[in-house]
Amino acid sequence: MRIVTLIAIALVSQGALYGQKKEEPRYYTDSEVPKHLININMYGQPSTLFRRIGTDLNGNQPNVTDRFVSQLNGDVGLAVDVHLRPLYLGVGMGQTWVNYGHRNEDESLRQTRARYWAIPMRAGLVTQLSDELSLEVWPTVTYRKAISFENSLDNQPLSSGFSPSYWTAGVQVGASLALTDRLSFTLMGAMDYGFDDLEAGTSLRSYTELPLFIGVRTGFRIKL
């Protein structure tokens, strides 16, 4: 009786398997696969600013008597990326707000505020982990031109004692998450290192300090 029952169960199971509808794999031609060659990025980048003290021609560090006070900085703008396999190449336009201070030996604080036009240029490597998620690395070079520059000594825009423009180079590393077929959310860590003293020509100090920006870049990307 037990053998008959086992045989009956086996026959029923085999019939159920044969009765199931088999799903055939679906294949796509190149013309059916969506190709997005241009991306438009809307971004914001809160960051903080650190300094690196420049050395003289002999590599000696100068004597520094003040303390650098890091504060909140920010970038906003639009950028366009073009997919030229295997790289993405992009350029943008935005503005940068810079805030920092110097605390002197007598504990007085000299506050500096500046605003710049920013033209970021970058090249990207994108690794697609799934249909929705990708990892991205973007080496960047940015040119910034001063719009206004002032400090707390006179609280007036300065006409001298600051660099009218400067360059930075850095990297952005993070991910993008597809919300729809054409809209993605991006989140990346960002680092920018400046090659020029923001206060070049100032009489308030004798040494050179170079800016280092560390922040988080976030925004939305539209694929065209």
Assessment of whether the complete model's pTM goes beyond 0.85 = no
Write the pLDDT tens digit of every residue in 117-163.
Answer: 999 999 999 999 998 999 999 999 999 999 998 887 655 555 566 88
Cβ atoms < 10 Å from Cβ of 139: 14
Cβ atoms < 10 Å from Cβ of 180: 8
Q: What residue type is 5 in one-letter code?
A: T
Write the pLDDT tens digit of every residue in 161-220.
Answer: 688 999 999 999 999 999 999 999 999 999 999 998 888 767 677 788 899 999 999 999
Third-level CATH fold of 34-223: Porin (2.40.160)
At residue 68's C-alpha, the angle toward residues 55 and 162, to 5°, is 70
